[in-house]
């Protein structure tokens, strides 16, 4: 609708409003394509089939940082749901990758992009219902 209104304002070669709306349309179409791709790769996770004794996606993990001391709690979530302030980290981060599949009592050796290695002991694994 906005494109038609801008087009009606005359010469398109000098119509900044038309150009801006077409650019916005391009961004929207790009975002739609990204969302379609994400949806095509999505799958439903059956919570009853998750091994709750191991760290996996949607698990909340309490760990002891053996490298620097202290404890942290992380919830491993899909990429688009990460929120560091609330402790939700993307399943694609180095920390998540290092924790995946570990059980309580095991040590995760996590190699960070800066070549540093963190050692985390798994203290607790929980799943919210």
pLDDT digit string, tens, across residues 72-121: 999 999 888 899 899 999 999 999 999 999 999 999 999 999 999 999 99
Residue for token digits 């688009």? 80
- Asked whether the beta carbons of 125 and 57 are under 8 A apart, the reply is no
Indicate whether 22 and 57 sit together in one domain: no
Indicate whether 17 and 74 sit together in one domain: no
Q: Which domain holds residue 103?
A: 47-127
Q: What is the pLDDT of residue 13?
A: 61
What mean pLDDT value characterizes the chain?
87
Q: What is the CATH number of the domain that holds 99?
A: 3.10.50.30
End-to-end distance of the chain based on CA atoms, in angstroms? 45
Q: What is the pLDDT of residue 19?
A: 81
pTM score: 0.67
Is a pLDDT exceeding 70 seen at residue 11? no
Indicate whether 55 and 116 sit together in one domain: yes
Q: How many domains does the chain have?
A: 2
The DSSP result for 38-107, as a single string, is HHHH-----GGGS-TTS--TTEEEEEEETTT--EEEEEEE-GGG-BGGGTEEETTSHHHHHHTT--TT-E
Instruction: Tokens for 60, please give them.
Output: 């909340």
Indicate whether 32 and 51 sit together in one domain: no
């Amino acid at each position: 609708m906005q494109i038609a209104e801008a087009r009606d304002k005359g010469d398109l070669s000098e119509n900044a409003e038309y150009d801006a709306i077409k650019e916005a349309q391009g961004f929207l179409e790009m975002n739609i394509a990204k969302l379609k791709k994400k949806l095509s790769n999505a799958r439903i996770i059956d919570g009853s089939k998750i091994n709750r004794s191991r760290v996996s996606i949607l698990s909340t993990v309490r760990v002891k940082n053996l490298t620097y001391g202290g404890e942290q709690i992380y919830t491993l979530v899909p990429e688009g749901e990460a929120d560091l302030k609330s402790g939700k980290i993307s399943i694609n981060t180095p920390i998540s990758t290092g924790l995946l599949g570990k059980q309580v009592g095991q040590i995760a050796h996590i190699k960070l992009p800066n070549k540093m290695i963190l050692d985390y002991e798994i203290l607790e694994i929980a799943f919210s219902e």
